[in-house]
Homo-oligomer: A and B are copies of this chain.
């Protein structure tokens, strides 16, 4: 899936937290951690740090629109003093995209200061916000995070520790969340009871880290310790690490879309390496929808790994068929309609010698509007390819996601209004096969999954009010 921003599936966010008990500066490591989670959000990012040794309550924060390396320059990092901190990369789900909604949210409340970074989407935000408003709360952002922060502040009035307040708050939250919180002396991680959103724990020297994905730990040279369990609250302080399992429940429902799409290829989530799950998806496709072909290839970079799995299972050789121009950034001038028609192809081009005269299996992870895949099929055929069999490593999206996956609205989703055969014709493929919902568990070793976007079976009741809304506007 390599589309324009308009038709991309958007993820909420990535979070990263660190506590350096030896007093070392935290901002540099957070910055690298966030850069490794950049695939989870590119619209804004931020870092908040504080010093656990100095006087309480001084939280240094910097946020900005853009990529991590655009927002954080050498000088900015130098000014972010502190050995404890949290960071965030954001792709807007709830709330408009603006600097005002960038995270971490830093606030003062009865017990001093707090910084909070949140990945996911609550389904009862509106209820909570209304309840708060009825007692006079004011809201300066449109994010879930502000509501969560409020709940913590309210709870904290009556609790002895911040963990207690967070525990109380968590029990009121419905939906998907991976939270990292810097309370002036503690780093706290919270994961939703269903385990919808990933969160994991790492260590390097004496420092503990919490991150949305294991790849961020590897990137900063830390050791992956374990996933934070669904419903777990982990607190890191000078006294070491503590775990509160009070919210745990039996039912888990990990988001299948993390494996198919969001997570980075080199991450391992809840024991399942993303790389393997994608190869298995390709293999499952090869079994369910075999094809006669000379070459298996993938759409760069989204379909490459599943294509390798398809190739191994089918015995058809795998090879790369496209060149990707990595200099063509997000902000490149758009071709005019005329230029588009006459064939400007900046981002991807075909390696003619790799495909000429061959029947091809072309694998990708999803189809949204179908424009990109149709384009690639046309390019392949122009370059002399024979048949082009398309295999998609996810089932068709048919249901809205209420937990943070911003699937383009129904009007843009091809699968919502077309049969597979119609789509095949529209994109110009010689055959088309979508991953079957029943094959999904096999790609993640039987891990309990949320597959609601494919089959409509939601792991929790979603209020009817919410369902009547356009999920994109949640």
Contacts and interface: CB of A to CB of B under 8 A. Distances in A.
A134 interface: yes
A352 interface: yes
Interface residues of A, number: 84
Contact of A327 (B68, B99, B155, B304): B68
Contacts of A67: 327, 329
Contacts of A157: 134-136
Contacts of A38: 325, 327-328
B336 A220 contact: no
Interface in A232-286: 264-266, 273, 275-276
A35 B325 contact: yes
A426 interface: no
Contacts of A332: 35, 69
Contacts of A308: 319-320
Contacts of A137: 109-110, 137, 153
B349 A140 contact: no
A196 to B, nearest CB: 24
Contact of A221 (B106, B334, B345): B345
B28 A335 contact: yes
A273 B352 contact: yes
Contacts of A19: none
B352 A266 contact: yes
Binding site of A, secondary structure by majority: helix, strand, loop or mixed?
A: mixed
Nearest to A34: B327
Interface in A83-119: 99, 105-110
A23 B398 CA distance: 43
A346 B109 contact: no
Contacts of A150: 136, 138
Interface string A145-165: 010011001111100000000
Contact of A220 (B107, B221, B343): B343
Q: Which of A35, A150, A157, A319 has the most CB of B within 10 A?
A: A35
A326 interface: yes
Interface stretch (A72-80, A172-180, A434-442): A72-80
A205 B157 CA distance: 52
Contacts of A266: 323, 349-352
Contacts of A304: 320
A342 interface: yes
A339 interface: yes
B68 A35 contact: no
Contacts of A276: 353
A69 B133 contact: no
A39 interface: yes
Interface string A421-434: 00000000000000
Contacts of A225: none
Interface of A: 28-29, 31-32, 35-36, 38-39, 42, 67-69, 72-74, 77, 99, 105-110, 133-140, 142, 146, 149-150, 153-157, 204-205, 215, 218-221, 264-266, 273, 275-276, 301, 304-305, 308, 318-320, 323, 325-329, 331-336, 339, 342-346, 349-354
29 contacts: A28-B336, A29-B339, A35-B328, A35-B332, A38-B325, A38-B328, A42-B327, A69-B332, A74-B334, A107-B139, A108-B133, A108-B138, A110-B133, A110-B136, A133-B153, A136-B153, A136-B157, A137-B153, A215-B349, A219-B344, A220-B339, A221-B339, A266-B323, A266-B351, A275-B354, A305-B320, A308-B319, A318-B319, A326-B326
Given A138-B149, A218-B345, 4 more contacts: A69-B328, A107-B138, A110-B134, A266-B350
